[in-house]
Structure 1
Amino acid sequence: MSTSNPNVVAKPIRFNGYLKRNVPAHDAELTSTDAGTPMGEQMRLYWQPVCLSSELADVPKAIRIMGEDLVVFRDKSGDVGVLHRHCSHRGASLEYGVIAEHGIRCCYHGWHYAVDGSLLDAPCEADATRLKQTVCHGAYPAFERDGLVFAYMGPPDRKPPFPEYDTYTRPGDTKLVPFSNVYPCNWLQVYENIMDHMHTAVLHNHMTVEGVDQATADGVSLEGFGDMPVMQWEATRNNNGMVFIAGRRLPDNKVWVRMTEMIFPNYLQIGSLVPTAARERHSTSSCTRWSVPVDDTHMIIFGFRHFNSEVDPDGIGCEADCGVDKIDFLVGQTGNRSYDEGQRAPGDWEALVSQRPIAVHALEHPGSSDVGVYMLRKLLRDMVRGKTPADTLHAQLTAAGEPLPLYSQDSVLDVQELPSAEDRKLILSLGKRVFEAMRSADPLPADERDAHVRRQLDLIERSAAAPAAAQQAERATT
Structure 2
Amino acid sequence: DVNSKMLGWRVMGPGIVTRGIGDKSMVGYETIDFLEGQVAMRRPERFGAYTLEDLPPIPGDHRARASYKAAQYAPGDYEAIISQRPVAVHAMEHPTKFDAGVFLFRKMLRDAVRGANPAANPDNFAEWLRSVGGAPNSYCSGNVFEIPEGASVEQEIANRRHVSRQIVAILTESEALKGDGRSAFVREKFDDLERSVRNPLPQ
Instruction: Decide whether the 8 Å contact of 1:342 with 1:350 is kept in 2.
Output: no
Query: What does residue 444 of structure 1 align with?
Result: 177
Three-state SS of the structure 2 residue aligned to 1:335 is: coil
Aligned mates of 1:340, 1:448 — CA distance in 2? 49
Query: What does residue 152 of structure 1 align with?
Result: none
User: Which one has the largest radius of gyration?
Assistant: 1
Q: Which amino acid aligns with 1:404?
A: P
Q: Percent identity?
A: 33
Q: Which amino acid aligns with 2:29?
A: V
Is residue 2:61 matched to residue 1:356? no
Map 1:32-181; keep pairs closer than 5 Å.
none
Superimposed CA distance per residue, residues 417-452 of structure 1 (whole angstroms, 9 cap, x where no aligned partner): 253224323312211221222232233231222111
Q: Which amino acid aligns with 1:318?
A: D
Instruction: Decide whether the 8 Å contact of 2:22 with 2:33 is kept in 1.
Output: yes
Query: What does residue 365 of structure 1 align with?
Result: 94
Structure 2 CA distance for partners of 1:326 and 1:365, relative to 1, 3 Å: closer
Query: What does residue 13 of structure 2 align with?
Result: 308
Aligned mates of 2:197, 2:18 — CA distance in 1? 28
Q: 1:319 pairs with 24, 28, 39, which one?
A: 24
Query: What does residue 410 of structure 1 align with?
Result: 142
1:343: Cα distance to partner? 0.8
Structure 2 CA distance for partners of 1:313 and 1:423, relative to 1, 3 Å: closer
Q: Which amino acid aligns with 2:90?
A: H
Is residue 2:35 matched to residue 1:330? yes
Q: Which amino acid aligns with 1:348?
A: D
Query: What does residue 424 of structure 1 align with?
Result: 157
Query: What does residue 96 of structure 1 align with?
Result: none
- Give the alignment's TM-score, normalised by structure 1: 0.32
Cα RMSD of the aligned pairs, angstroms, is: 3.4
Superimposed CA distance per residue, residues 384-429 of structure 1 (whole angstroms, 9 cap, x where no aligned partner): 344447599x966732536211111322234442532243233122
Aligned mates of 2:95, 2:89 — CA distance in 1? 13
Superimposed CA distance per residue, residues 220-279 of structure 1 (whole angstroms, 9 cap, x where no aligned partner): xxxxxxxxxxxxxxxxxxxxxxxxxxxxxxxxxxxxxxxxxxxxxxxxxxxxxxxxxxxx
Q: 2:112 pairs with 383, 387, 390, which one?
A: 383
Aligned mates of 1:428, 1:358 — CA distance in 2? 36
Structure 2 CA distance for partners of 1:450 and 1:367, relative to 1, 3 Å: closer
- Give the alignment's TM-score, normalised by structure 2: 0.66
Instruction: Decide whether the 8 Å contact of 2:37 with 2:77 is kept in 1.
Output: yes
Aligned mates of 2:20, 2:129 — CA distance in 1? 33
Structure 2: which 5+ runs fail to align? 46-63
Superimposed CA distance per residue, residues 183-212 of structure 1 (whole angstroms, 9 cap, x where no aligned partner): xxxxxxxxxxxxxxxxxxxxxxxxxxxxxx
Q: Which amino acid aligns with 1:328?
A: D
Query: What does residue 292 of structure 1 align with?
Result: none
Aligned mates of 2:128, 2:105 — CA distance in 1? 25
1:327: Cα distance to partner? 2.6
Structure 2 CA distance for partners of 1:327 and 1:406, relative to 1, 3 Å: same
Q: 1:344 pairs with 70, 91, 94, which one?
A: 70
Aligned mates of 1:400, 1:339 — CA distance in 2? 44
Aligned mates of 1:328, 1:466 — CA distance in 2? 36
Q: How many residues were matched structurally?
A: 175
Q: Which amino acid aligns with 2:15?
A: E
Map 1:281-296; keep pairs closer than 5 Å.
295-296=1-2
Instruction: Decide whether the 8 Å contact of 1:441 with 1:452 is kept in 2.
Output: yes
Instruction: Decide whether the 8 Å contact of 1:332 with 1:342 is kept in 2.
Output: no
Instruction: Decide whether the 8 Å contact of 1:402 with 1:446 is kept in 2.
Output: no
Instruction: Decide whether the 8 Å contact of 2:137 with 2:178 is kept in 1.
Output: no
Structure 1: which 5+ runs fail to align? 1-294, 471-478
Aligned mates of 2:107, 2:163 — CA distance in 1? 26
Superimposed CA distance per residue, residues 63-91 of structure 1 (whole angstroms, 9 cap, x where no aligned partner): xxxxxxxxxxxxxxxxxxxxxxxxxxxxx
Q: Work out which structure has the larger RCO, using CA pairs closer than 8 Å and 6 or more positions apart in sequence.
A: 1
Is residue 2:190 matched to residue 1:460? no
